[in-house]
Amino acid sequence: MSVPEQYSLNLPGIERETLDVDVLLIGAGAANLACAIHLQRQLAARGITDKSILVLEKAGEIGDHTLSGAVMNPRGISELFPDWRERGCPIESDVRWDAVEILYSKDGSKRLKGPLVPPQFQNHGNVIVSMNQVVRWLKEQAEAVGVQVYPGFAAAEILFEQKDGVERVAGVVTRDSGIDKHGQQKHSFQPGMNVRAAVTVFGEGTRGHLAKHLIRRHGLDAGRNPQMYGTGIKEIWEIPAERGAEWLGGVLHTAGHPLSLNGYGGSWIYGLKDNRLSLGFVIGLDHPDAKLDPHALFVQWKQHPAIARILEGGKVLAYGAKTVPEGGYWCMPRLYGESYCLVGDTAGFLNASTLKGVHLAIKSGLLAAEAIAEALHFGDTGAARLKRYEELFSASWAKDELYGVRNFRQSFEGGLLGGMLDVPFQQLTGGRGLVERRKNHKDHETMHPVHLSRLEKPAFDDKGSMDKLTDVYHSGTTHEEDQPAHLLVKDPSICIERCTREFGNPCQHFCPAAVYEWREGGTAKGPVINFSNCVHCKTCDIADPYENIEWVVPEGGGGPKYVNL
């Protein structure tokens, strides 16, 4: 058994205890929890009752790191639990009305309602949810069928071993805790654990830090497009009661301001219970501007009169950010390998045209569970058996849905015009459009030199236009301060000697949590990393123009504490 060289803050040469399980799931999101529940049922149906299933989650509590819009298409949860409503799956509201607001200038807008709402924004039959409430509920459902769920355990490294001349995934090593900022053991040092499994399922969420290495190491993206990401910024607001009632169950999407034609993105406002609103803004990370600042765009959007009117008299309750895998079908990696599967956001199960992924994430978990149950039944968890997962996907409605919009996001690379021209053809040709398969770049390759930047910062205030640090306070983010920074700058000389000149150190702009500051002045010149602010969105790992930043997992339990996000 070997631990390969990879980015991890675990100490080398430490003796570690080993825990053996049959199936190990990394990340307690919707995809993995659905997978664990369905797997238990599938095994029981085959008369197999002696298999152990363990879910590890880096957050201190299940749901603390979960963030989504979210309007949920109930198709996935209905397959997991046909009686999901009766079982008490928490929902904020059924969707009662839809609208789209075109913000055609800095202060002009036009609202489209009823039949004028484009089909992909019509949400009749869908439900508004808080995904961190939903995953907390899914955790209870999983535990009720015998799945073990351990929060506070961060998976730091993948265990690989050779079997019959083939490298297989044998489990993970969890993160050591009690290492000080200089990399030395503290009195509280607790070594991580080897957790070995017959099958490991990576459902780490978007840009999974272990899946990223696995995809590269095993070439799971060979022949696929690189994944395209957006960064989503979200707040929960409380608004005056007289307006809250009319918003309950409302779904508003906006397009336009503050984006110009060279950026792909948009926003949402969803009406929740108790006079609260979920609001957010997603911007594609293929935006060419080196000063792209998703949080600043979000603030500028809130300052548009049409949005400011909605928020007037309200106050912010919560804040968060995450990246979203937008690329769709062509960007999905191979879903399986020797003793492992990839599910959910980690595998790119998201339909960017409808802004929905929860139903696809759950479906991916269900399909993986069926393949894993079959593999365990035959006592063979090799790639040839787990290939069944990809076959099941190919025969599923999830594949049909994703294939039907396969060129959607790619057609917007380089600006809105390409997509606006091609999407009508895509709708007429079952997703094909003008070419069968559109290519795309890695997001960071699309950044233009800083002297071409046109983006500006908004004016902040303490009413609705909070700066990043004020917003981070509302995310509940904390990390143990005396530990090594979990944002690794591979070569700081690139920051100083090239990035300053070429791109103006974009990390100080694109991070939505003010983690990166640029320090000028003699020998002290360079990036300052306030890692304790990090909300684990992964934007820096994706958007750095030299791929010079590596996000690695901090001690378990650190990070945001999202409530109702």
Q: Tell me how far, at minimum, the Cβ of 489 lies from ligand SF4, in Å.
A: 11
Residue number, 171 or 512, with CB nearest to ligand SF4: 512
Contact with ligand SF4 (CB under 6 A) among 535, 552, 553, 565: 535
Range 54-73, binding ligand SF4 (CB under 6 A): none
Contact with ligand SF4 (CB under 6 A) among 160, 281, 551, 562: 551
Exposure of 96 by Cβ count < 10 A (0-12 exposed, 13-18 middle, 19+ buried)?
middle
Q: How many residues bind ligand SF4 (CB under 6 A)?
A: 13
* Separation of alpha carbons 281 and 321, rounded Å: 10
Contact with ligand SF4 (CB under 6 A) among 159, 251, 487, 489: 487
Q: Tell me how far, at minimum, the Cβ of 513 lies from ligand SF4, in Å.
A: 4
Residue number, 236 or 535, with CB nearest to ligand SF4: 535
DSSP 3-state of 461: coil
Site for ligand SF4 contains 539 (CB under 6 A):
yes
Name the segment binding ligand SF4 (CB under 6 A); options: 24-32, 116-124, 287-295, 537-545. Answer: 537-545
Site for ligand SF4 contains 8 (CB under 6 A):
no
Site for ligand SF4 contains 156 (CB under 6 A):
no
Residue number, 21 or 540, with CB nearest to ligand SF4: 540
* Separation of alpha carbons 345 and 357, rounded Å: 8
Provide CB contacts within 8 A for 150, sequence distance 6+: 54, 55, 56, 57
User: From the CB of residue 480, how many other CB atoms can be counted at a distance below 10 Å?
Assistant: 17
Residue number, 399 or 479, with CB nearest to ligand SF4: 479
Residue 388 DSSP class: H
Site for ligand SF4 contains 25 (CB under 6 A):
no
Range 105-124, binding ligand SF4 (CB under 6 A): none
Q: Tell me how far, at minimum, the Cβ of 537 lies from ligand SF4, in Å.
A: 4
* Separation of alpha carbons 503 and 500, rounded Å: 6
Residue number, 94 or 517, with CB nearest to ligand SF4: 517
Consecutive H or E run containing 383:
helix 383-394
Q: Tell me how far, at minimum, the Cβ of 551 lies from ligand SF4, in Å.
A: 5
Site for ligand SF4 contains 292 (CB under 6 A):
no
SS percent in the chain: helix, strand, coil, step 5 = 30, 25, 45
Q: Tell me how far, at minimum, the Cβ of 486 lies from ligand SF4, in Å.
A: 8
With vertex at residue 114, the alpha carbon angle to CA 110 and CA 115, rounded to the nearest 5 degrees, is 100
Site for ligand SF4 contains 228 (CB under 6 A):
no
Residue number, 91 or 472, with CB nearest to ligand SF4: 472
Residue number, 33 or 534, with CB nearest to ligand SF4: 534
Site string for ligand SF4, 256-285 (x = CB under 6 A): ------------------------------
Phi-psi region of 529 (alpha: psi -120 to 50; beta: other; left: phi over 0): beta
Q: Tell me how far, at minimum, the Cβ of 535 lies from ligand SF4, in Å.
A: 5
* Separation of alpha carbons 92 and 97, rounded Å: 14
Residue 466 DSSP class: -
Q: Tell me how far, at minimum, the Cβ of 399 lies from ligand SF4, in Å.
A: 31
* Separation of alpha carbons 50 and 43, rounded Å: 9
Name the segment binding ligand SF4 (CB under 6 A); options: 67-75, 168-176, 211-219, 533-541. Answer: 533-541
Site for ligand SF4 contains 537 (CB under 6 A):
yes
Site for ligand SF4 contains 553 (CB under 6 A):
no
Site for ligand SF4 contains 209 (CB under 6 A):
no
Residue number, 268 or 551, with CB nearest to ligand SF4: 551
Contact with ligand SF4 (CB under 6 A) among 538, 553, 554, 560: 538
CA distances from 209 to 231, 282, 431, 447, 552 (A): 17, 21, 31, 23, 7
What order of strands is seen across the sheet that includes strand 71-72? 71-72, 127-128, 93-94
Q: Tell me how far, at minimum, the Cβ of 545 lies from ligand SF4, in Å.
A: 14
* Separation of alpha carbons 373 and 39, rounded Å: 6
Q: Tell me how far, at minimum, the Cβ of 207 lies from ligand SF4, in Å.
A: 9
Positive or negative torsion for Cα 238, 239, 245, 250: negative
Contact with ligand SF4 (CB under 6 A) among 196, 234, 291, 536: 536
Site for ligand SF4 contains 532 (CB under 6 A):
no
* Separation of alpha carbons 360 and 335, rounded Å: 14
Site string for ligand SF4, 494-523 (x = CB under 6 A): -----------------xxx-x--------
* Separation of alpha carbons 218 and 282, rounded Å: 31
User: From the CB of residue 526, how many other CB atoms can be counted at a distance below 10 Å?
Assistant: 18
- The answer to whether residues 98 and 123 touch, using CB atoms and an 8 Å cutoff, is yes
Provide CB contacts within 8 A for 132, sequence distance 6+: 63, 64, 66, 67, 562, 563, 564, 565
* Separation of alpha carbons 290 and 510, rounded Å: 9
Q: Tell me how far, at minimum, the Cβ of 205 lies from ligand SF4, in Å.
A: 12
Residue number, 74 or 280, with CB nearest to ligand SF4: 280
- Chain residues that interact with ligand SF4, rule: CB under 6 A: 487, 511-513, 515, 534-540, 551
